[in-house]
């Protein structure tokens, strides 16, 4: 079984001006991240606009990326859907293409109760051998899972082996990592709390900023695991303004897409109704990138 640890950029879905997926751009970006030495990548996540993609596009994204990667790095696939049946269908498709894991947030429109969330993951876990990453993000799903519920799912659903914690509550990361050791790994999902999460036991980061500074987020993780905390904190301090901009703007998809273009990779517009950056936001991004380049990224 593939070991899933480290900083995993959660990729955008590059698009043309006609709002179609730029498949050559997808392949180019994949090879860029492999060349940067990242631990792995995530596709069809929130940053990849999965809620704005059709079923056929999501399926084709999985087939295209897994073929292009060719086993060089692990690929985690976002397989969330509004119903258990659809989630199982997406998860099985990812498994058929030999993904390393499935990232699953609870249904995000119906705001399920905790017992409904439990049965959702129990049912998905029972029909796949793919490692499942349970995803707690109250800002996008409208549901903030309790620590007790995540413990229960992690312990009783055999294939739920990872948890991405994005609530911003560092005590949840601490309790899950310490008390769940041996049952599941915990990944940070809050861009501004990465070092704090590593410090309390997180073993990875599903990283939006990793699209823009893949080598820095990789180096930061490696330093933290090697006990080189001064070096890790130094990188944290360098990228924190970018992370804060991503978290606070409400336009993290558009920011990453624009940054990819500015760094010579494939980006393009987000799918409507998302609009591009304002002139002020664009200038702010350029300033942040210039500062990072100044420090030899």
The pLDDT tens digits for 189-218 are 999 999 999 999 999 999 999 999 999 999
Instruction: Categorize the per-residue pLDDT at 294 as very low, low, confident or very high, splitting at 50, 70 and 90.
Output: very low
Q: Please write the tens of the pLDDT for every residue from 18-48.
A: 999 999 999 999 999 999 999 999 999 999 9
pLDDT over 60 at 9, yes or no: yes
Residues 171-188 have pLDDT tens digits of: 999 999 999 999 999 999
- The CB-based long-range contact list for 218-222 (8 Å cut-off, 24+ gap) reads 218/6, 218/7, 218/36, 218/37, 218/38, 218/39, 220/7, 220/194, 220/195, 221/6, 221/7, 221/39, 222/6
Q: How far apart are CA 188 and CA 205, in angstroms?
A: 5
Of 164, 169, 16, the residue nearest 104 (C-alpha): 164
Proportion of the chain above pLDDT 70, given as a percent:
98
pLDDT at 295: 44
d(CA 209, CA 255): 10
Catalytic residues: 135, 164
- pLDDT value for 54: 98
> In the prediction, which pLDDT does 3 show?
86
Q: pLDDT tens digit string along 73-83? A: 999 999 999 99
Residue 200 pLDDT:
96
Please give the share of the chain, as a percent, with pLDDT higher than 90: 94
Average pLDDT, the chain: 96
| Residue 296 pLDDT | 43
Specify the 3-state DSSP secondary structure of 164: strand
pLDDT tens-digit profile of 94-147? 999 999 999 999 999 999 999 999 999 999 999 999 999 999 999 999 999 999
């Amino acid at each position: 079984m593939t070991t899933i640890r480290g900083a995993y950029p959660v990729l955008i879905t590059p698009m043309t001006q006609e709002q179609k997926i730029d498949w050559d751009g997808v392949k180019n970006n994949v090879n860029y991240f492999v060349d940067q030495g990242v631990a792995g990548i995530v596709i069809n996540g929130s940053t990849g606009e999965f809620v704005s993609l059709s079923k056929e596009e999501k399926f084709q994204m999985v087939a295209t990326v897994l073929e292009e990667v060719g086993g060089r790095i692990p690929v985690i696939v976002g397989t969330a859907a509004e119903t258990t049946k659809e989630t199982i269908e997406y998860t099985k498709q990812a498994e058929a293409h030999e993904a390393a894991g499935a990232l699953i947030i609870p249904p995000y429109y119906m705001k399920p109760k905790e017992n409904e969330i439990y049965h959702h993951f129990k049912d998905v876990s029972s029909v796949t051998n793919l490692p499942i990453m349970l995803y707690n993000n109250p800002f996008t799903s409208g549901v903030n899972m309790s620590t007790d519920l995540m413990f229960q799912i992690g312990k009783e659903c055999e294939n739920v082996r990872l948890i991405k914690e994005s609530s911003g509550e560092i005590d949840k990361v601490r309790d899950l990592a310490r008390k769940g050791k041996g049952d599941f790994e915990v990944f940070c999902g809050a861009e501004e709390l990465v070092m704090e999460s590593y410090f309390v036991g997180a073993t990875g980061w599903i990283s939006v900023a990793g699209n823009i500074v893949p080598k820095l987020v990789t180096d930061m993780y490696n330093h933290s695991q090697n006990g080189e905390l001064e070096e890790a904190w130094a990188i944290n301090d360098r990228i924190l303004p970018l992370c804060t901009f991503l978290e606070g703007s409400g336009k993290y998809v558009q920011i990453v897409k624009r940054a990819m273009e500015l760094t010579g990779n494939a980006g393009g517009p987000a799918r409507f109704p998302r609009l591009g950056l304002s002139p002020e936001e664009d200038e702010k991004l350029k300033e942040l990138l210039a500062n990072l380049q100044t420090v030899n990224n």
